[in-house]
Structure 1
Amino acid sequence: MYASRYDPVMNSAVSAPHRPPRRPHAWLAALLLSQLLVAALWWRFGARWGLPAMIASHLPFWWGTLAPGSALFSPVLRRLPTSERVVWLTIDDGPSDDTRAILDLLDAHGAKATFFVVGERARARPELVRAIVERGHGIGNHSQCHPSAWFWALPPRRMRAEIDEAQRTLTALCGRAPRWFRAVAGHANPFLAPALRAHGLARVAWSARGYDAVLSDVTRTIARIERDLAPGAIVLLHEGARHGRNVEMLARLLQRLDALGYRTVLPEPLEVA
């Protein structure tokens, strides 16, 4: 069973809209209409008008795919709906060699986080996933293989497999299915929404990040995050980066959160009709 000591009441959880995609193919109508308009312009005015119109008609779909906060293809949670001085810590890409040190740091500060884990990494180190759950933290789906270079371009079958396999892996390890999903690099092409809907997964982006997956400068990274802190902020963090300083970055961030009077919370999913 899913063994968790987390008490949403004692930890002052914040209710957050949980919005799995309801109409995952709605974008098709917009695409077809836009291309009909392009065809009409091309037929009436030729390539001089038709070509720029075709390029312009594709720009929203590129934006919808590559912009982490875009809700063009599926709803996405960018911050918690609260005026309380609380933040949601989210930690991507684990489990890793950093996981146990991160858990100890969170315990030392009385903090909670959601770990968006990669299915194949969880399967290889199940004891770390169980440790996350046993210490009262959340688990989210972050794909099965984390294809960071190509997630934005995955075709329907491969996209579905990434979500399905990770969900099966994490459900087997945790005893219940994750309810939140973090897209790899934040990218969400049109084929993601049907896979999320099949599992009742709601997509989560972020409102504060320090690029800690690539930057090794702790001071600069924390300054970037602090600049975007606000009530209800969703903070994007990583573990296991090649520079080896993610644990140090989290330690500094937790110190700053304490100094600034912020508490960490786990969101309590609020179903949306």
Structure 2
Amino acid sequence: MSEQEHKVLKEQRNRRKRVQHIRIGIITVISVWMILSIVITCILCAKVVSLQKQINILTGDYDSSTAVSAKVNQSASDTADIKLTQNTSDKENLATAEDLHKVYLTFDDGPSDNTNAILDVLDDYNVKATFFVTGKEDEASKAAYKRIVDEGHTIAMHSYSHKYSDIYASKEAFQNDFERIQNLIYDTTGVECRYYRFPGGSSNKVSNTDMSEFISYLNDQGITYFDWNVSSGDATSHAFTADELVENVMSDVVKYKTSVVLLHDATAKTTTVQALPAMIEALQQSGAMLLPIDEDTTVIQHVSIQQ
């Protein structure tokens, strides 16, 4: 082999080595990038799940229907022995074959466009319900407040801001928020609202202030607060179908003489609107009475205080 041929062969070998090194480098970079992408994706997914849970709590999509306990500050009263108790006895409210089922459809977090859609459905079936509204002062929301009242439904309070950190910061903060929503409803509709639902329910674990302070305040104002004993599931992060929402409700209302059903009419709750006609039809076919909350309604509360 001539020196020239040897030189060419050597250059070819060196070129192959360089190409091989480049190939290995590219494969290594791609492999590291893929591994990092998987790790970052897993971390982001975990963060998203955690943030969704926090969002659910902060926006009120917190379902505490299974919780029946809350903290009690025994020093809240120097003269009274305050006891926190589960208010509704399952035994007293359990239905027998002969009992008539009374069902109260309640909608939280409105008004929104879905509120009007729900009102349309209720009107089609001549059914009255209860709307636990938040504070909104735009003209469309005020029109929704008026429509709720004008069409014979019960309008009730679900706080003004629906911001847990603000509402439950202190008794004074709760009082200010309460007066704001009560005044807004009165100024808009002429109704002095007497019903309230705590964001997260009376048994929520979000409030940093003892819930007995807020319960005592409402009791002193002559306000009746309602929780729920049947949940449709539309408050959870799980995306139930319309059929599943109906099944969730129907599987529980048969258990009780009085069922207060938790539903939502916020902007995102379009599935609730879709489920409502089938839900009403199923309830009517079962023989249940569909009613709005009034002074004769059996009070459903997760917890209450006794003095």
Assess same fold via TM > 0.5: yes
Other-structure match for 1:144: 160
Unaligned runs of 5+ in 2: 1-71, 204-210, 300-307
Of 243, 250, 274 in structure 2, the residue corresponding to residue 219 of structure 1 is 243
Structure showing greater Rg: 2
Of 179, 184, 202 in structure 1, the residue corresponding to residue 199 of structure 2 is 184
Q: Does the CA-based 8 Å contact 1:95-1:118 persist in structure 2?
A: yes
Q: Please list the CA deviations of residues 198-237 of structure 1 after superposition, one character each: whole Å capped at 9, or x if unmatched.
A: 5321110111112213334222222111111033111111
Q: Does the CA-based 8 Å contact 2:233-2:240 persist in structure 1?
A: no
Specify the code of the residue in structure 2 equivalent to 1:128.
A
Distance 1:157 1:185, change over 3 A: same
Unaligned runs of 5+ in 1: 1-25, 33-60, 62-70
Other-structure match for 1:175: 190
Task: Please report how far the alpha carbon of residue 153 of structure 1 lies from its aligned counterpart in structure 2 after TM superposition.
Answer: 4.3
Q: Does the CA-based 8 Å contact 1:80-1:234 persist in structure 2?
A: no
Moved over 6 A (4+): 73-82
Distance 1:95 1:30, change over 3 A: closer
Q: Please list the CA deviations of residues 3-23 of structure 1 after superposition, one character each: whole Å capped at 9, or x if unmatched.
A: xxxxxxxxxxxxxxxxxxxxx
| Pairing of 1:110-259 with structure 2 (within 5 A) | 110-120=126-136, 125-148=141-164, 150=165, 153-187=168-202, 189-214=211-236, 215-229=239-253, 230-242=256-268, 244-259=270-285
Task: Please report how far the alpha carbon of residue 77 of structure 1 lies from its aligned counterpart in structure 2 after TM superposition.
Answer: 10
Specify the code of the residue in structure 2 equivalent to 1:178.
C
What SS does structure 1 have at the residue aligned with 2:278?
Answer: helix
2 CA distance for matches of 1:77 and 1:270? 18
Distance 1:77 1:200, change over 3 A: farther
> Which 10-residue stretch deviates more, 212-221 or 116-125?
116-125
What SS does structure 1 have at the residue aligned with 2:111?
Answer: coil
Specify the code of the residue in structure 2 equivalent to 1:260.
S
Distance 1:204 1:80, change over 3 A: farther
TM-score (norm 1): 0.66
Q: Does the CA-based 8 Å contact 1:218-1:245 persist in structure 2?
A: yes
Of 84, 94, 99 in structure 2, the residue corresponding to residue 72 of structure 1 is 84
What is the Cα-based RMSD across aligned positions, in Å?
3.4
Specify the code of the residue in structure 1 equivalent to 2:123.
D
Identity %: 26
The count of residues paired between Structure 1 and Structure 2 equals 209
